Chain A
Amino acid sequence: MQVNQEFKPTIVAFCCNWCSYAGADLSGTNRLQYPANVKIIRIPCSCRLNPMFILRAFQRGADGVILCGCHPGDCHYTTGNYYARRRMTLLFSMLDFLGIERERTRVEWVSAAEGAKFAATMNEFVETVTKLGENKRLEDLRCKS
């Protein structure tokens, strides 16, 4: 039997319940293709994302982590994504400072009407991470089976 050795990255996408999760849904109902290795986790708001979740995702074997939320100004809770924006900026900067490839993390604002943007973003992100290869710098051997 032939085993496909091609590297398929695991991507964790944190999507806010009100915009991006609905955006992902729309891209599905529109039959837009995006890679199956994107695992979506629904969160109530982009500012629910504890920085530890991102590191945890890497620990458990993610090769890239993306956060999708409402466009700034459109937050269901008025201001949540503004806080998330500051936090993520600082966290990504810190990961970069520690020498972890900055291309593995990203924030993208996707509204409920932007199914096409969601699919395009995921396609592009998976491509970027595939080029980077496996996540070696933030993996946890204890979590490898």
Chain B
Amino acid sequence: MQELIKAKAVELLENGVCDRVLGWKAGEFFYDVTPAVFRSREEIEKDFVFGPFCGANMSKYLIAESRKEGKIAAFLKPCDTYSFQQLQKEHRIRRENVYAVGVQCEGMCDIDAMKAAGIKGILGADGDGGTLTVHTLYGDKSVERKTVLAERCKCCKSKKLLGCDEIIGGQGEELESNRFAQVEKLEAMTPDERFAFWRGELSRCIRCNACRNVCPACSCEKCVFDNPASGVENKAAANSFEENLFHVIRAFHVAGRCTDCGECSRVCPQHIPLHLLNRKFIKDINELYGDYQAGADMDTRPPLVNFQTDDPEPSVVHERGSEQ
């Protein structure tokens, strides 16, 4: 797969289809793959990687890149293509400046899951399909991909590549996933238990803003949380309010636009399950206003800038609560 993609990148550059390529570059560690722009054949051959750790959502970078001069080719995984379409819908990406190549994805892996599976001294991992080859200090090992998948990939919603100019690795299908299972589990708890759970999770937040910076939906040019007068622009020493406020407002801001790509949880250095907040909104929207998948199409109105005259009243929250 990596070779196919590299060859395609070189081909696009040399045929003049684009003058730069957005792809993945090896970072400091093999599992720390970073998005990068490549401008020449040499750069691609030296640094371009595509492997089990290329989790980064590329659509976010197209916002800035598509406004520059010239055309950029981007490699997009299925979940990236949802964000890609959503951002086009919001007029954030200039489609005419992007050559989108869809790349089929088998699910990205989590280094912590690999370590937890008892593999020691990991030096690298590669391979396509169901089995990965993990290179370790003690020789190569083969590992089932599904045992070391990232949390978000275990309940993948879709392998469909949307709105691409070209596809590598074949078109996929929307999948049946149980991605709301964890949200349901939390909903079944009592308010006190839920409060304790979220306090435990959110109090670890260090307000590094990584979740905001990586989120394709969170791409405002001015952000309320950058305002030093807001009182919530950094971590409060004293109490929990600003964490609650930050994460509630952030989740609310992307409600109806979040494609559930799970980047927020991937980049969180404190491993806070932030995607659960977004999923809660998606689940509520599906239940109250009809099924909606952000980015799945180009013409429907997002649920929060739309209404029906017979929408349920806000008191539905109280009523639903009393049944539980």
A96 to chain B, nearest CB (A): 6
Tell whether, in the assembled complex, residue A98 and residue B248 are in contact, meaning their CB atoms are under 8 Å apart: yes
Residue A42, interface by CB 8 Å: no
A120 to chain B, nearest CB (A): 16
Residue B127, interface by CB 8 Å: no
Tell whether, in the assembled complex, residue A85 and residue B311 are in contact, meaning their CB atoms are under 8 Å apart: yes
Residues of B with C-beta under 8 A to A51: 248-249, 252
B201 to chain A, nearest CB (A): 10
Give complex CA distance A17, B251 in Å.
29
Give complex CA distance A107, B318 in Å.
11
Tell whether, in the assembled complex, residue A89 and residue B309 are in contact, meaning their CB atoms are under 8 Å apart: no
Complex interface bits, B249-279 against A, C-beta within 8 A gives 1, otherwise 0:
1011001000000000000000000000100
Complex interface bits, B288-312 against A, C-beta within 8 A gives 1, otherwise 0:
1100000000000001111111011
Report the interface size class on chain B: 35 or more
Give complex CA distance A141, B318 in Å.
28
User: A96-B317, A101-B191, A103-B318 are contacts. A82–B307 as well, Cβ < 8 Å?
Assistant: yes
Query: Which one of A8-16, A26-34, A111-119, A132-140 is at the B interface?
Result: A132-140
Give complex CA distance A107, B313 in Å.
8
Tell whether, in the assembled complex, residue B307 and residue A79 are in contact, meaning their CB atoms are under 8 Å apart: yes
Tell whether, in the assembled complex, residue A83 and residue B305 are in contact, meaning their CB atoms are under 8 Å apart: yes
Residues of A with C-beta under 8 A to B288: 89-90
Residue B144, interface by CB 8 Å: no
Residue B166, interface by CB 8 Å: no
Residue A86, interface by CB 8 Å: yes
A105 to chain B, nearest CB (A): 8
Residues of B with C-beta under 8 A to A73: 309
Residue B197, interface by CB 8 Å: yes
Residue A40, interface by CB 8 Å: no
Report the interface size class on chain A: 35 or more
* Secondary structure type dominating chain B contacts: helix
Tell whether, in the assembled complex, residue A142 and residue B244 are in contact, meaning their CB atoms are under 8 Å apart: no
Give complex CA distance A34, B307 in Å.
33
Residue B187, interface by CB 8 Å: yes
Query: Which one of B60-68, B82-90, B233-241 is at the A interface?
Result: B233-241
Residue B285, interface by CB 8 Å: yes
User: A96-B321, A97-B186, A139-B241 are contacts. A55–B314 as well, Cβ < 8 Å?
Assistant: no
Complex interface bits, B206-250 against A, C-beta within 8 A gives 1, otherwise 0:
000000000000000000100000010000101101101100110
User: A99-B196, A103-B318, A142-B236 are contacts. A82–B284 as well, Cβ < 8 Å?
Assistant: no
A94: contacting residue among B224, B280, B308, CB under 8 A: B280
Residue B141, interface by CB 8 Å: no
A140 to chain B, nearest CB (A): 4
Tell whether, in the assembled complex, residue B314 and residue A92 are in contact, meaning their CB atoms are under 8 Å apart: yes
Residues of B with C-beta under 8 A to A93: 280, 284, 317
Give complex CA distance A83, B289 in Å.
12
Chain A CB within 10 Å — which of B224, B245, B303, B306 has the most?
B245
Give complex CA distance A82, B314 in Å.
11
Tell whether, in the assembled complex, residue A90 and residue B195 are in contact, meaning their CB atoms are under 8 Å apart: no
Tell whether, in the assembled complex, residue B317 and residue A82 are in contact, meaning their CB atoms are under 8 Å apart: no
Residue B198, interface by CB 8 Å: yes
Tell whether, in the assembled complex, residue A95 and residue B315 are in contact, meaning their CB atoms are under 8 Å apart: no
Tell whether, in the assembled complex, residue B309 and residue A82 are in contact, meaning their CB atoms are under 8 Å apart: yes
Residue A130, interface by CB 8 Å: no
Chain B residue at minimum C-beta to C-beta distance from A95 = B248
Tell whether, in the assembled complex, residue A55 and residue B195 are in contact, meaning their CB atoms are under 8 Å apart: no
Tell whether, in the assembled complex, residue B231 and residue A92 are in contact, meaning their CB atoms are under 8 Å apart: no
What 5 A-B pairs are tightest by C-beta distance, nearest first?
A: A99-B195, A82-B307, A99-B194, A140-B241, A107-B314
30 pairs of residues in contact across A and B, judged by CB atoms under 8 Å: A51-B248, A52-B224, A59-B245, A79-B307, A82-B307, A82-B309, A85-B313, A86-B304, A86-B311, A87-B304, A88-B314, A89-B284, A89-B312, A89-B314, A90-B284, A91-B252, A93-B317, A94-B284, A96-B191, A97-B186, A97-B194, A98-B195, A98-B198, A98-B248, A100-B195, A102-B318, A140-B239, A141-B238, A142-B231, A142-B241
Q: Which A residues fall within an 8 A CB radius of B?
A: 51-52, 55, 59, 72-73, 79, 82-83, 85-103, 106-107, 137-142
